[in-house]
Amino acid sequence: MLTDLLAQTWRSARSRWLRTLLTASGIVWGLALFICLSAVGEGSRLHYQEKMQALGRKVIYTFPGSIAGRSGSERTTRSIALKREDPARLPGSPQIERAAAELWTGPRPLKGGGRTKIVWTYGVEPDAEHIRNFRIGTGRFITPEDVETRARVLVLGAKIAERVFGRRPAVGATVRLDGYPFRVVGVSERKGMQMVNMGPLDDEQVLMPISTAQTLFTRSDAISYVLYDPLSRDAGEDSMLRVRSLLSRHHHFGPRDDQAVEFFNSAEMMRVIEGMGWALQIFLGACGFMTLAAGGVGVMNTMLVAVAERTRELALRKALGATNRDVFIGLLLETVFLTVAAGIGGLLVGTGLVAGLQAIHDATVRDNFLVSRPVLSLATVMLAFTLLVCTGIAAGLVPARRAARLDPAEGLRDE
């Protein structure tokens, strides 16, 4: 039965090869476009998610604010000064995983490798590596021993290392920062452009132990802000309430005073970006699906014409004993086979186009914030194949039903 049906499908397609080719081209183009647009949408979603996570996967920044006096006048306003001891008080809370202090020490001249550059400098603690999603390319990050001994060591951002040392290795080199000698112990991996960053890009920062920064540059135990990781992104809101309550005990302000300390929760921005990414992917996928549906309509119209042209053949088959069910299933399977055959070509064309776009991206784009690399996932291919089968079934229902309802006597008489 299956062999006869395939042979019949082949004979029908060969006898009307031009019509079959034009009909199949609609399926090929629709499926290829669906695959390409889905890959572009998925690539865009992952691209912007990665750029957002460059700041930190779930980091929350805590900035010092001010407290108004009882009279509410500006003269009685008291500023909050966060201290190095504050981050150590936070991980005791069940909502907080780790915390670190950070100190901005401004732009300073860095001399090394025969060059002098103005760089942005920060004093950090070891946990900043995880909280801020730093990845060390060569060397190491700041260690607890560096902070304890006020070591004069630096971790260079990828772009700073390239500007100062070029292609020469930076780790182990001695440089002078604002006149003080330092040893380079690490160079970070390149992050590229970021959707959100506090100050300059991470690739353009120079990091030192926070104790060293306080000793040499600020000569104060105050810090710029506290950054911490909640246990999860969903715990961000509760953790901010807990952090405000913990800090209020040591800085003497009300635990509900939202002006005393202010927060930037990266998870809120990530949710917005992820929502935009999913919306873009759904929109592009819908565009591809509409094109695929248009190809299905073309297949249905072609099969309706084929049924009209094969009226005598179908009437003769029914007169010889074929049931309505036999004719219905035969025409439906014929449509599905034709659709799937064209769909295989669409899968090949679509994956080929995605591979070509990926090759062009890899060859021409180095660090473009707006251009994402298409990502073709197995889920996309499976979804495309499922839609293809559904399209073939939907396109074959009307022609198959019309053929099944054909009266043999009327069909033979009309012919």
pLDDT tens-place values along the chain, 415 residues long: 556 656 666 666 566 666 667 777 777 887 888 888 888 888 877 777 777 767 777 889 999 988 876 555 555 678 888 998 999 888 877 888 899 999 999 999 999 988 999 999 999 999 999 998 888 999 999 999 999 999 999 999 999 999 999 889 999 999 999 999 999 999 999 887 776 666 788 899 999 999 999 999 999 889 999 999 998 888 888 889 889 988 888 888 888 888 888 998 877 777 777 777 778 777 777 777 777 777 667 767 666 666 665 666 666 666 666 666 666 776 777 777 777 777 788 888 888 888 888 888 777 755 565 667 888 877 777 777 777 777 777 777 777 777 666 666 555 555 5
pTM score: 0.67
Structure tokens at 96: 């907080």
Q: How far is residue 147 from each of residues 92, 171, 176, 184, 261, measured CA to CA in Å?
A: 21, 19, 19, 15, 26
The backbone torsions φ and ψ at residue 185, rounded to the nearest 5 degrees and listed phi first, read -110, -10
Q: Given this model, what pLDDT does residue 364 score?
A: 73
Q: Given this model, what pLDDT does residue 227 score?
A: 92
Q: Given this model, what pLDDT does residue 365 score?
A: 57
Q: Given this model, what pLDDT does residue 126 score?
A: 94
Q: Given this model, what pLDDT does residue 195 score?
A: 62
CB 125 within 8 A of CB 100: yes
72 half-sphere exposure, CB direction, 13 A CA radius: 0
Q: Given this model, what pLDDT does residue 218 score?
A: 92
Name the residue with tokens 């996309």. 380
CB 297 within 8 A of CB 396: no
Q: Given this model, what pLDDT does residue 339 score?
A: 77
Q: Given this model, what pLDDT does residue 182 score?
A: 96
CA 284 from chain centre, in angstroms, equals: 15
Q: Given this model, what pLDDT does residue 393 score?
A: 74
Q: Given this model, what pLDDT does residue 293 score?
A: 73
Alpha-helix residue ranges (DSSP H) falling in 225-377: 236-251, 266-309, 311-319, 324-364
Q: Given this model, what pLDDT does residue 215 score?
A: 94
Structure tokens at 200: 């300059």
